[in-house]
Structures are given as C-alpha cells and as structure tokens.
Structure 1
Amino acid sequence: MIHMGPPSPSRHALPPPRHRRTLSSTIIEESVAAAAALVQKWHPDDDAPASGSLFLHATETEHEEAQIFLRAAAALHRAMLFFASDVTHGGDGLVQAQALLQTAMRRLDLELQLLLDDMTQSDDIRAVVEAMMAAGYGKECISTFKSHRRAALTTELQPLLGLSPPYHLHKLTWEQLDGSIIPSWLAAATVAFNSLFAAEKDLCDAVFAGGNAAVGEAVFAAVANDQATSLLAVAEAAVARARRAPERLFRVLDVHDTLTEVLPGLLFVFGDSSEVAARAALVVAKVGEAARGTLGSLEAAIQKEPSKATAAGGAVHPLTRYVMNYLVFLADYQEGLALLVNDDYEQEPSSSSSPSSSIILHRLVSVLLGKLEAKAGCYRELALSYLFLANNTQYVANKVAGSGKLRGILGDGWAEAQSAKARAHVGVYVRAAWGKVMAAISGAEPPEAVEQAVMEAVAMQEQWVAADEETAEALKAAATAVVVPKYRMFYRRHGAAVSLTPGDVTTMVAALFAGPVGQV
C-alpha cells in the first residue's frame, strides 16, 4: 500500500503560467491538464468511483480508458522531468505534476491489489507493475505484490497441510504426526513443488519481464522462499521425531520418496544455488541419515533378540512374523532405499552388480535366519528344534514367494531354496520325533515296548504346531510315510500281541497338528 500525503484542497488545480510559454511547455501543460481530469475521475479516495476498477470486469471502452490512464501516468512522470529541468520557471508545474503522479500511483496501487486478488488478468497486472516501476514507484509496487502473493500462497497451502504457521511440531505426538501431519505434508509438498511454486515463478517472470530479470527472481524469492523452507522444515522435524524406531521407517521413506519426486522441479524453480535448494539438500541428507540409522536399529534389534525366547510348540516366532512383514513393506521402497543407503552397505563380491536394496534385504533376512538357528538350539527336544526351523523357514519362504517385489529383489530361486531347506528340516524332525519307535521296531523289542514308544511319540507331539495347513499336511505325510509302513510290518509279525493297528497309528498321526495355525 502506498502511503502519501493528502492531496491539496484544490485537488491539483493548475496554477497560472508564470513564464513565457513555449511549444514544449504548452504540450506538457496540456497533458498534465488531461491527466488531472482522468486522475480526478478515478481518485483513490472516492468511495464510489465511476467503476469499481479500471481493469476488472471492464467493457472494451472501459478497458481502453484504463490504457489511457496508464499513458497519463507516464505523461505525468515526463512532465515532472520536464519541469525539474526548468530550474527557473518549472517549480509550480513540478509540484503539481508530482502531486498528480502520487495520486495516480495510489490509484494504480489499489488496482494492483484488486488484480492480485482476482488473478484472471495477468497482462493487466504486468501493465500496472510496469507503469508504477517506470514512474519510480517500484518499491511500493513490489511491496504490494509480495504481500498479496505471500498471503495467497499461505491460503493455498494451509488447507493442504492442515497446519497454520508457525508450526509447533514439538508439541505434537508421533501419533499425530503419523496420523495426519505427514500424510498431509506428502500431498502438500507434491502440489507445492510440482505446481504452486512453478506457477508463482512463471507469474513473477511474466510480470517483471520488462525490467531486469533479477527483479523477478528477487520478488519470487521473497514470495516463495519462506513458504518452501517452512514445508521442508515440517519434513525435517517429522523425520527427527521418528527417532530411529523401525516401525516409523516407512514414514521416513514416504518423506524421502516425495522429496526425490519434487527435487528436480524444486531445483529448476528455485535454482541450484538458492537457499531453498540448500535447505532441501540438508533435509534429504537428514532423511537418509534417519533411514540408515533405523535400518541399523532394526538389524541390531534382531541380533539382540534373546535366543532363549522360543515359541511354544515350535510355532512361527513373533520375531519371524514381524521381520518378514516388515521386509514385505520395505520392498515397496526398493528404488528410494537404494538411493538412501548405497554408500553404507558394502557389496559382496558375489553380488557386485546387485542394487544396495537387494543387499540390505538379504542382510536382514540372513540375520533373521541366523537368529532362528540360535533359537532352535535352545529347545530340549531335537525334534522340536527342527520342527521350529521347518515352520519358520517355510514361513519365510512363503512370505517371499507371496510378495512379487520381495521375490524379485531376493531372486526367483531364493524362496524355493528356503522351501527345500524347510523340507530337509521336516525330514530331520520326523527321524527325531519317531526315532525311538523306529529303533524299537528295528531292534525287535517286545510288542508292548513298541506300542509304548508310539504312545510316547504321539503324546510328545500333541502340543506341537505347524506354521500353516500346508506345512501340517507335509509334516503328517512325512511321518506317515516313515512310520506306518514299518509299523505295518511289525503288526504282521505281532498282531495278536498288540492293540494298536496300523490304521490306529495312521489316525493318530493324522490327528497331530490339528490345532490353530499361525496368523500371517
């Protein structure tokens, strides 16, 4: 807003000439008189001018008058220069022309505000700006432009972000950040850096194209820099609040993916050497640091899991479920993950061409499998140890096979190899669980000793569980294939002396692993 002194009571009445009139002075005085009439008609202090605006919603005739007004303002500026050069006789004319020009500029400042509120007539905005700057009122013009466009950007961004500046993120819980602030930021940043700021830069470039290009760049920076750095600060603070908790990594990766997406546009609009570009680089670095730290925390947490904390009945361990579900989600961030951690994970010679995301996931799942081996060794019964390994290894294989992205990262044959290991564990489990029965039959022990061995083997396994129905069927089929044929031969020799028939043994094996299977 331009603040100028009140007009004189005579409202720019022309003083009588006090010097000998020349052709030039006559022309100038006539132009000032014509401008005075037009300025009077569109005086900014009038409550109800002839029309609400010189430019907005104007008819063709009214719009022509707006162009005349701009030319009149230019004429008043030329008159000032003319009278200023006449140090002997131009004093009164200079005062009059200056007063008129100030009033005309106040009118154009008002028009600029109206046009910036409407934003449908960008050519008129440029015309008003050029007229004000040409008349020496660039400072006032730029001040009005900046204040209006800053307010407009705030109005556009605030509903997207759901926050009003200043952003008191330190008062928000992680649940609030995770539930609403970060999702809103993801959308707001995408719209802002891909659309709003680019449009604002185009507007500044177009409006201030008539002058030095640096003017438009400076105006854009004044309008948009604070808004952009505030958006980046929200991301920076949210990532800092993640505190390397593994379950919060996905929000960190969401922020990284969004930053990666908008960074090219950000650099193009704000410039590689801008304050905003420097802040964006800092935030990206902090996001990377947070992601790497979180992955390190996850790996450490797996390694520190107490080996003696086993799962009852050889079931799938909660750690296995957590890590594998985590890796399934993590595989969705393959590209961003590779960018984030490429420098922190050394590639093994056998996988020198693999992306770092593959190495990371291989590493995490290898740490998990190693921990499962350690847990298996803590069971008292050898059979239960291998049942635990069979269940957990098959669960891992199923998770990989069921996730297209995770399967693609670890390799098509990886899940099949784990399934083969699970089948091998099943074989060892069967031999260990039914070893006494096989030994009793092969050792020609008394029939009652064989029956007792069968009952003990069944009783031992009654509370043991399978990872899923498919694994349960595989376990029972393997046991049936090993036990029943030999027991049938035993029964043929000692049928009169035993009460358990081969059919009974088959039924008893089939009844195992009938309890609830684990959840995904």
Structure 2
Amino acid sequence: MRKFCLNPKTPSFSLHRNTSSSISSSSSTTIPSIRKATAHVEAAESLILKWNSETSDYAKLTSLFYNDKNEAIQYIDCVNNLQKAMHSLLKHDPSSPKLIKAKKLMEIAMNRLQKEFYQILSMNRAYLDSESVSVRSSSTSLCSYEEDGIQEEDDFGEAENCISEVERVSSDAVDDLRIIADSMVSNGYGKECVKIYTRVRKSIVDEGIYKLNVEERSFSKLNKMDWEVLEMKINSWLEALKISVRTLFAGERILCDRIFAASRSVGEACFAEISRDGATLLLRFPEFVAKTKKSKPEKIFRLLDMYTAITVLSPDIELIFSFNSTSGIKSQAYDSQNRLMESIRNILSEFEYTILKDSSKLVANFGGVHSLTKRTMQYLTSLADYSNVLSEIFLDVLPSSKSLLSESYLYSPELSQNSTENVTGFSVQMMWLIQVLLCKIDVKSKQCKNVSLPYLFLANNLQHIVEKVRSSYLQHILGDDWLLKHIAKVKQFMENYERVAWGEVFSSLPENPKAALSVAEAREVFMKFNLELEKAYRKQSAFVVPESKFCDEIKTSLARKIVPIYRELYDRHYIMAGNVREMMEYVKFIPEDVHNYLMNLFCGVRA
C-alpha cells in the first residue's frame, strides 16, 4: 500500500532524547516560553477532559460540533495550542511531567476528534451526497459537470435519487470535517483520518454503484449470457456510466479536495481508496463485453454506444482521476476503449464475409430486391448514424481486401478533387462493403432463368442501394460523385433490360411509321407487332419493380419508345388494313391499349 507523507504522531516526542542537546535557549527566554506552554496545557486540560468519552457520560452521548460550534472551534484551538506547548516543553525538558500530561491530553483529544469526524460523516450521508457536492462546487472546483440532455430511464431516476437524496450540501458539515481533518493530520493522525473517511465514503460509493445495477461479473459469466440478456446489461451500464462519472465520482473528488485542502496527499489517498474498486468495476465491463463471442452483427451497435459513451466522458475521467494513484482507472477506460475499437473492426470484417458467404437462393424469379440487399443496406444505413465515431475508429485503416477493389473504382478520374479529399478510412470501408454486396448480387443474378431478368434484378437491387444511400447519412459519407456514378449504373442496367426484354417489340415497328406500305406490308407489320407485344408482355408481366417511382420510370421509358411510333403507324395505315373483319384480325390494339398494357407491367407482389 502506498505510503503517504503524514506528520508523526505525538509519541514521536521521545522521552529518551538527550536533555542537554534539546535545551538550547537561555534561561531568560526559556522561562516565559515554559510558562506559556504550561498555560496552554492547563487551558486545554479542562476542555479536553470535558469531552472525554471515557470519563463523561455527557461526552459519550453528545456531539461536540453539533452541541456548540463556538466551543468546538475553541476545542480545535486548544488542541493546536497544545501541540505548540508540547514542542516548547520538549525543548526544555523531554522528561517533564507537563509534557507527559500534554501527550495524554493530545491522545484523548485525537480520540475525540476521530469520533466527531466519524459522526459528522455518518450523520450527513444525505447532505454530503455526490450530486449536491458536484453541483454546488462546480464553479470553484474541478470543472463544470454539465448535463447533456440524455434522458435517464425511470429505473435510473430512482438509482440517481439514491445517490443524491437531496439537492443541497451542508457547508457547515464540510467546514467541520475540514477543520477536524486539518487538526488530525497536523498532529500525526492522518492515517486514522484516512481510515475513517474511506470507510464511510467508500460504502456510499459502493452502494451507489450497486443501485445503478453495476455488479461484479466474471468474463466467463458474461460470455455465457444470451445476447438479449447481455444487451439489457449494456443498456443499464450506459445509463450508469454517465451518472457515476459526472455525479458520483465527480462529487467524491470535489468533496475530498475540499475537506483535505490542506493536505493533498491525504485527499489523494482517500479518493483513490474510495473510487478504485467501483470505477474499475464500471470501466472494465465494456472490455469484457467486447471479448465475448457473440456472432450477431447487431452487436456492433451496442459496442458503438459504449465506445461513444467512454469517448464523451473521457475529459471528465481524465480530470476526475488525475492523481497518480488513480492512473489505473484511466488506463482501464483506455483499455476498454481500445478493446471496443478492435472488436468493432473485427465485426465489420466478419460482416463482409457474411455477405460473401450468403447462400440464399432467389425465392422466385421475379427480379425484385434480394433479402441480402435489404439486410445489408439496413445495416449500413444504421452504421452511418455512427459516422463520427466510426471515422475515428477507422482513421487511416483501409479494408484488408482493398487490393480487390480497383483504384479506378475508389478514386476514379471522374471524381472531383473535393470528393477525393473527403475520402476517409470509414468511407472506403462503406464503399467496399457495398461493392462486395454488388458483386454478390451479380453472382445471384445468374440464377435468373429469363434472359432479360438479370438486368431487371440488378437494376432493382442497385436502385434500392441508391435510394438507401440518398435517404440516409450514407450520402454524406460516400459523396455525391459516388451517388451519381451508381445512378448512371442503374440507368445502364435499365437500358440493357429494355433492349433484351423489349428489343423485338422495338424492331417490329418500322423506322419510319409514315412511310408508304402496301396492304400486305401493313398487315405484316401489325401482325408482327401484335405477336411481339403479347409475347413480351406475357414474359414481363410477372416481374416486379418494388420501388414505385423507379417502376414508373421504367414504364414511362417503354411507353415513350413504343406508343408514339405505334400511334403514327396506326393513324397512317389503319385504313389500309381492309374491312372491319380484317381489321379485327390484323390490328388488335389501338394506341391506348398499348399504353395501358405497358402501364400494367410490374404489378406483381413488390417483394
């Protein structure tokens, strides 16, 4: 245990010291000094004996400081004068009966002050609560512990009230404790003072920690917990951390600084002993959680919450535990933070392999958004809400598989200088995960049996990705250039789909619908168009485009390319198709019918 520089107890005034060497002043100066010392001893005797619990029932049942504050101050003055008298007597005659008497009186006085110190601490538990001390002293002590607006749950409101039963502090009690502490320390009873103070205040801190549901749990127990149970423990810890740091430990630090203002080493010893166990227990929890083997990707969000909480409170932790003797507490906070950082990086790495190893098949060949795309983008948009802290975690860290991602993809010559300057380790990580997803979706598109469906499938999935990016903070992370590039890619997929799925319909229409045609030629054109339109419609009508705006874009694009040309053909050559019966045989659709056919596409289940 660390040794603190405390003044020696009264017994150090040794009776065996050489008398001749201790008497150095002339008789003319010694006599007045001895008379004064004797007077101090006699003056102190009556008051000290009055409050001797061993000989007085009144003193045993009554508190000196609560009974009469003026008499208490007089008592402290007597003790201080008694100390001066002992020094004078020691110099004159180490074997003096007066010195022996003074030593006994000092011992009685110190016993009394120990009792008073304990009584004041015990009787003022509610008034020396941590929150009251920290709030009342914030303007003159460590720093201002400002509330940050986070709402505590009802359960924690009760716990916080247990820590701070009232919103005021008894300045008188603090002053009394400081006076007693100064006297005890200066008279060599610093260790006794520390023992009493830490016994009382540590019980308060430990009780507060317990009320906040922070309990001692081994790593093995945490590792065996179901994730749902562990997540509840994490939520409790998040609430407990803020209350503990900004209320409990901040208040205890301020209280120690005020009571032991005259002896910083004693104050440090007290605060270290009071806070060490509770703070270590509190700050070790995230490290244990980070080390648990829970495979769910969702675990990352609770780890990010814990990392953020420690980061936000780091300045407070640094300031409150600034003593050398509490450096281990700060180290524990940093260790937990580093362990959380490592675990978060590992989870994202594992998430990449989860995408790559996904073996789910297409539920049906309808071309909709794959469940893997939905899950992945939901995960990434949620991660985007933690972009600030993740940018810190992935500072100068690139994905391990970056070599697979071409420089032209990440740093395209088409990108503006501004966009490349904003590329961070985290933004590259997000780009990479989306690229991995797109590669996996491309592989899954090979499962589509219809030749045109892969393009619609890819367009649907990329459009879903684009919309998720555009409607979330991912757009800020990835940048406008990334977004524009992938919007263009969606358009390319859509054009390929139109070409493959509707190419025969396009080609069935003449390049110049107003060109002169014979009756036979006109009939042939109409028959071919009827055949290709019905065939394409049968194949494409079962396909889906889940996002309504994108669906309308595709249908409108098809209508623009087909309906106007068909309308001109119809208006120019309808009369040439022959009589009514023949018209019904060769011209099945009026232009409005064609438009309605196209507008009814992709109306399947939008999965």
Are 2:455 and 1:386 aligned? yes
CA distance in 1, matches of 2:430, 2:537: 39
Do the aligned partners of 1:397 and 1:416 also contact (CA within 8 Å) in 2?
A: no
Pick closer, same or farther for the CA change 1:262–1:92 going to 2, 3 Å.
closer
Q: Which residue is equivalent to 2:189?
A: 137
Code of the aligned partner of 1:216:
G
Pick closer, same or farther for the CA change 1:48–1:324 going to 2, 3 Å.
farther
Offset of residue 292 of structure 1:
0.6
Do the aligned partners of 1:245 and 1:297 also contact (CA within 8 Å) in 2?
A: no
Are 2:593 and 1:504 aligned? yes
Residue correspondence of structure 1 range 349-388 to structure 2 within 5 A: 350=411, 351=420, 354-388=423-457
Q: Deviations over 1:191-247 (max 9, x none)?
A: 333443233223223322313x33322322111122221111111122223635321
- Greater RCO (Cα-Cα under 8 Å, separation 6 or more): 2
The worse-fitting range, judged by mean Cα deviation, of 70-79 and 464-473 is: 70-79
Residue 203 of structure 1: SS of its match in structure 2?
Answer: helix
Q: Which residue is equivalent to 2:73?
A: 67
Are 2:559 and 1:480 aligned? yes
Pick closer, same or farther for the CA change 1:165–1:44 going to 2, 3 Å.
farther
Do the aligned partners of 2:38 and 2:98 also contact (CA within 8 Å) in 1?
A: no
Do the aligned partners of 1:83 and 1:94 also contact (CA within 8 Å) in 2?
A: no
CA distance in 2, matches of 1:461, 1:429: 11
CA distance in 2, matches of 1:185, 1:368: 35
Residue correspondence of structure 1 range 71-90 to structure 2 within 5 A: 71-77=77-83, 85-87=93-95, 89-90=97-98
Do the aligned partners of 1:244 and 1:290 also contact (CA within 8 Å) in 2?
A: no
CA distance in 2, matches of 1:496, 1:203: 98
Pick closer, same or farther for the CA change 1:95–1:282 going to 2, 3 Å.
closer
Do the aligned partners of 1:335 and 1:357 also contact (CA within 8 Å) in 2?
A: no
Residue correspondence of structure 1 range 394-405 to structure 2 within 5 A: 394-403=463-472, 405=473
Are 2:339 and 1:318 aligned? no
Pick closer, same or farther for the CA change 1:92–1:219 going to 2, 3 Å.
closer
CA distance in 2, matches of 1:427, 1:262: 53
Do the aligned partners of 2:51 and 2:59 also contact (CA within 8 Å) in 1?
A: yes
Q: Which residue is equivalent to 2:296?
A: 245
CA distance in 1, matches of 2:293, 2:52: 58
Residue correspondence of structure 1 range 436-475 to structure 2 within 5 A: 436-440=504-508, 450-475=529-554
Are 2:265 and 1:214 aligned? yes
CA distance in 2, matches of 1:107, 1:38: 16
CA distance in 2, matches of 1:34, 1:391: 97
- RMSD of the TM alignment (CA)? 3.3
Pick closer, same or farther for the CA change 1:279–1:369 going to 2, 3 Å.
same
Are 2:175 and 1:123 aligned? yes
Residue 389 of structure 2: SS of its match in structure 1?
Answer: helix
Code of the aligned partner of 1:426:
M
- Return 5+ residue gaps in structure 1 as ranges: 1-21
Q: Which residue is equivalent to 2:286?
A: 235
Residue correspondence of structure 1 range 163-242 to structure 2 within 5 A: 163-165=214-216, 169-170=222-223, 172-179=225-232, 181-211=233-263, 213-241=264-292
Residue 313 of structure 1: SS of its match in structure 2?
Answer: coil
CA distance in 2, matches of 1:315, 1:44: 88
CA distance in 1, matches of 2:231, 2:448: 40
Do the aligned partners of 1:382 and 1:429 also contact (CA within 8 Å) in 2?
A: no
1:38 to 38, 42, 47: 47
Q: Deviations over 1:23-82 (max 9, x none)?
A: 7667656645554543455455777759864445x7xxx221111122233345556666
Residue 314 of structure 1: SS of its match in structure 2?
Answer: coil
Residue 434 of structure 1: SS of its match in structure 2?
Answer: helix
Do the aligned partners of 2:223 and 2:293 also contact (CA within 8 Å) in 1?
A: no
Are 2:382 and 1:329 aligned? yes
Offset of residue 153 of structure 1:
1.9
Pick closer, same or farther for the CA change 1:454–1:48 going to 2, 3 Å.
farther
Residue 296 of structure 1: SS of its match in structure 2?
Answer: helix
Code of the aligned partner of 1:339:
E
CA distance in 2, matches of 1:382, 1:314: 11
Do the aligned partners of 2:214 and 2:240 also contact (CA within 8 Å) in 1?
A: no
Pick closer, same or farther for the CA change 1:106–1:276 going to 2, 3 Å.
closer
The worse-fitting range, judged by mean Cα deviation, of 27-36 and 454-463 is: 27-36
Offset of residue 282 of structure 1:
1.4
Code of the aligned partner of 1:134:
S
Q: Deviations over 1:424-448 (max 9, x none)?
A: 3222212222233344556976865
Q: Which residue is equivalent to 1:427?
A: 495
Do the aligned partners of 1:314 and 1:464 also contact (CA within 8 Å) in 2?
A: yes
Do the aligned partners of 1:83 and 1:91 also contact (CA within 8 Å) in 2?
A: yes
CA distance in 1, matches of 2:42, 2:80: 14
| Matched length | 489
CA distance in 2, matches of 1:244, 1:268: 36
CA distance in 1, matches of 2:430, 2:300: 14
Do the aligned partners of 2:377 and 2:468 also contact (CA within 8 Å) in 1?
A: yes
CA distance in 2, matches of 1:246, 1:438: 47
1:303 to 324, 348, 356: 356
Offset of residue 267 of structure 1:
2.1
Residue correspondence of structure 1 range 87-166 to structure 2 within 5 A: 87=95, 89-90=97-98, 93=101, 96-97=104-105, 100-114=108-122, 117=125, 118-119=127-128, 120-121=170-171, 122-159=174-211, 161-165=212-216
The worse-fitting range, judged by mean Cα deviation, of 439-448 and 340-349 is: 439-448
Q: Deviations over 1:116-169 (max 9, x none)?
A: 52322322221111111222221111011112222222333333x323445764
Offset of residue 419 of structure 1:
2.6
Pick closer, same or farther for the CA change 1:49–1:166 going to 2, 3 Å.
farther
Code of the aligned partner of 1:63:
K
CA distance in 2, matches of 1:68, 1:512: 98
Q: Deviations over 1:312-346 (max 9, x none)?
A: 41111111111111111111111211111224317
